[in-house]
Structure 1
Amino acid sequence: MTAMVGEIVTLLIMAFALGMDAFSVGLGMGMYKLRMRQIFKIGITIGLFHVWMPLVGLLMGKLLSEKFGTFASIIGGLLLIILGVNMIWASVKKGEEKIITPTGMGLLIFALSVSLDSFSVGLSLGIFGAKTALVLLCFGIVATVQTWAGLLLGRKVQAWIGSYSEALGGAILLAFGLKLLYLFF
């Protein structure tokens, strides 16, 4: 029972870290005075992508795990570190963000862009043998709620919060990657 609670807490923290980019981009998009119906649709779409992308990653990770064992586990930890560093680096870069309209194809591109990192994490979790349904449930719900929170909060606050939240998410993923590598060395 304690192991299950620990796994749930770990997955929720990872889901929170992965949802930070959706939250931060949602802050900026929320300033467009979107209607509540649009906000609802954007959140659901992001949530679905945060289910679909790690599912593909999990399946590929389990396949790699069976083939490559411990080596694949080390690669999974390195992926989390690279992803965390990338998120921190992206939050530091200024003036390179492009605005995508959150409708139609723009919404799909937006959803894909903020959920690509969940594919890599899903790959790592698949290598470590995480419970698929639990991962997908945590990632999907947390990403949806964080997207809604970002869009709604974006209507109220300035955009400066966005870069800090993405850096925090990157730091959390970096810490998990270092922890996983520490277990092997």
Structure 2
Amino acid sequence: MSLVSLVFLAFAMSTDAFAAAIGKGSSLHKPRLTEALRTGLIFGAIEAITPLVGWLIGQAASRFVVEWDHWVAFTLLLLLGLHMIHVGLQPDSEGEEKPSRHSFWLLAVTAFATSIDALAVGFSLAFVEVNIFVAALAIGLATTLMVTIGTMLGRVLGAVIGKRAEILGGVVLILVGSTILYEHLAGA
């Protein structure tokens, strides 16, 4: 996987967390940088761990699918991307009560929920030539940065940007999957 693809992947993986952070930030009264950084670090750590777990699962399965690994990676990223686009196009639910303060556990559960796709991406990365530790670190750092910014922007931007970020992340995942497939087929 090229460096450009890795950077796009890292930021694509952080878009759903960014969207969630905008929502979390919008529910706080004038969020401070320390709260935003705390939120970013929680999300970033969880988002960095989940692709490692997925990669380990993928490594165990890789010997069974080595002949069509590029198709597995492409299909998983395509499905994840389409799911993110679908979620981004859904209307927001009305009447949700927003918390006045975010506990560690609420942030951790939200971060885990937004990192399920990183688990699947980690699984798909087991089938391509990539250093999973560099990829996980890049995903974690991008998520930390995006969530910190999203929390600070949340009060101003609200949910309008959040949905668009989810759609953009889905498109980027599809492009990364297509690039993996193209690079493999062009090299064959």
- TM (norm. structure 2) is 0.87
Cα 1:73–1:36, aligned 2, differ >3 Å: closer, same or farther?
A: same
**Residues 1:10 and 2:8 aligned together:** no
Partner of 1:174 in structure 2?
174
Unaligned stretches of 5+ residues in structure 2: none
Runs of 4+ with deviation above 4 angstroms:
97-101
Unaligned stretches of 5+ residues in structure 1: 1-5
**Residues 1:69 and 2:91 aligned together:** no
**Aligned-partner Cα distance in 2 for 1:86–1:65:** 24
**Residues 1:19 and 2:14 aligned together:** yes
CA contact (8 A) 1:17 1:170 kept: yes
Aligned to 1:130, the other structure's residue is in SS state coil
Shift of 1:35: 3.6
CA contact (8 A) 1:81 1:177 kept: yes
Cα 1:86–1:100, aligned 2, differ >3 Å: closer, same or farther?
A: farther
Cα 1:71–1:160, aligned 2, differ >3 Å: closer, same or farther?
A: same
Aligned to 1:40, the other structure's residue is in SS state helix
Cα 1:111–1:100, aligned 2, differ >3 Å: closer, same or farther?
A: farther
Partner of 1:105 in structure 2?
105
Shift of 1:99: 6.4
Q: Percent sequence identity over matched residues?
A: 29
Q: Which amino acid aligns with 2:59?
A: K
Q: Which amino acid aligns with 2:88?
A: S
**Aligned-partner Cα distance in 2 for 1:47–1:99:** 25
Q: Which amino acid aligns with 2:164?
A: Y
> What are the Cα deviations for residues 23-49 of structure 1, in whole angstroms up to 9, with x where unaligned?
111112111223433222111010101
Q: Which amino acid aligns with 1:78?
A: T
**Aligned-partner Cα distance in 2 for 1:67–1:162:** 39
Partner of 2:147 in structure 1?
147
Cα 1:7–1:181, aligned 2, differ >3 Å: closer, same or farther?
A: closer
- TM (norm. structure 1) is 0.88
> What are the Cα deviations for residues 101-149 of structure 1, in whole angstroms up to 9, with x where unaligned?
5313211211101111111111111111310221111111001000001
RMSD: 2.0
CA contact (8 A) 2:53 2:122 kept: yes
**Matched length:** 180
